[in-house]
Amino acid sequence: MARGNRGIGGPESGGWAPIIGRGVFLASLFLLSGCSRTGGLLGDVAVRMPSGDVLRGARINVRLIPSTEAFERDWAQAIAVFRQDVAPAVEEQKAADHKAEEVRLAWDHALTAGSKTGAKSRRFRSPAPAQRLWKDVRATEAVAFQARKRVWEIVRKHEEEAEVLLDKYATQRVQTDQTGHYAMVKISAGKANVYARFREGNSTFTWLVPIQVKAAVQTLDLTQENQGGTWPFVP
């Protein structure tokens, strides 16, 4: 995964060669779209992190999925099934988190009361009450962890099924180059979606960006601004 703004500087940094190459390729796309009355789509997959580093989606798949009646029907069904499955798990997670927070607050309150009254506090004269409270904290946090894990498992299951569905209806599948650049040619005009996903460390970036394809060359960069916004498989 390349980092930083490579390919942006002048000749001393090697930045002009990619720009010149892309200019030639762009001209080729214009010729193709003009002759065939189909469209072309190109862009970069790059995310600017809070640190300022730029993560480029090198060698990842980018798919184009036309918004056909069959796709929209199956996609809506997939979303409905996901929401039906995840809703009870989310409610259980909220309840478990709330219970764990209550027990943790009770533990904190007991500790504070004990520190104010010192060792003579009746509540903490014996370690047994403190031990019971701490066991309650550990037990409720374990339940909350399992509830969060269950939600994550449901989300991941439906994401995998969604990727299979998107691949089924995709009419274009391309791979980005080492700089995160992609290009598609001979795309039929009409409504479509551009889908891509890549992972970097503990971060996952997902795009499902609607686009109106025209009989021309268009640019669509996949960045932090348009990632995740229309991806429906979130709790």
Q: What is the residue-wise DSSP string for 102-171? A: HHHHHHHHHHHHHHHHGGG-STTSSHHHHHHHHHHHHHHHHHHHHHHHHHHHHHHHHHHHHHHHHHHH-S
d(C-alpha 151, C-alpha 234), whole Å = 9
Q: Are residues 92 and 51 in the same domain?
A: no
Q: Are residues 126 and 185 in the same domain?
A: no
Residue 67 placed within a domain: no
Per mean pLDDT, which range of 80-84, 123-127, 158-162, 217-221 is the poorest? 123-127
Residue 214 placed within a domain: yes
Q: Tokens at residue 170, please?
A: 């995709």
Q: Are residues 182 and 141 in the same domain?
A: no
- Run of H or E residues at 86: helix 69-117
Q: Are residues 99 and 154 in the same domain?
A: yes
What is residue 22's predicted lDDT score, i.e. its pLDDT? 55
On whether the CB atoms of residues 117 and 154 are closer than 8 A, the answer is no
Q: Are residues 87 and 148 in the same domain?
A: yes
What is residue 116's predicted lDDT score, i.e. its pLDDT? 55
pTM: 0.76
How many structural domains is the chain composed of? 2
Residue 234 placed within a domain: no
Residue 155 placed within a domain: yes
Q: Are residues 80 and 49 in the same domain?
A: no
Residue 195 placed within a domain: yes
- Give the CA distances from residue 13 to residues 10, 73, 128, 180, in Å, rounded to whole numbers and listed in that order: 6, 49, 68, 18
What is residue 41's predicted lDDT score, i.e. its pLDDT? 97
Q: Are residues 140 and 180 in the same domain?
A: no
What is residue 142's predicted lDDT score, i.e. its pLDDT? 97
On whether the CB atoms of residues 35 and 86 are closer than 8 A, the answer is no
Share of the chain above pLDDT 90, in %: 67
Residue 168 placed within a domain: no
Residue 130 placed within a domain: yes
Q: Are residues 24 and 99 in the same domain?
A: no
Q: Are residues 79 and 49 in the same domain?
A: no
Taking the CB of residue 40, how many other CB atoms lie within 10 A of it? 26
Residue 106 is part of which domain span?
A: 73-162
Q: Are residues 201 and 134 in the same domain?
A: no
Higher pLDDT, 127 or 232: 232
Q: Are residues 196 and 142 in the same domain?
A: no
| CA Rg value for the chain | 26
Range 137-154 average pLDDT = 97
Pairing of strands 172-175, 61-66: antiparallel
Residue 184 placed within a domain: yes
d(C-alpha 5, C-alpha 98), whole Å = 44
Does the pLDDT value for residue 101 go beyond 60?
yes
d(C-alpha 235, C-alpha 220), whole Å = 28
What is the band of 118 on the pLDDT scale with cuts at 50, 70, 90?
Answer: low
Question: CB-hemisphere CA count at 13 Å for 76?
Answer: 7
Q: Are residues 157 and 210 in the same domain?
A: no
What is the band of 131 on the pLDDT scale with cuts at 50, 70, 90?
Answer: confident
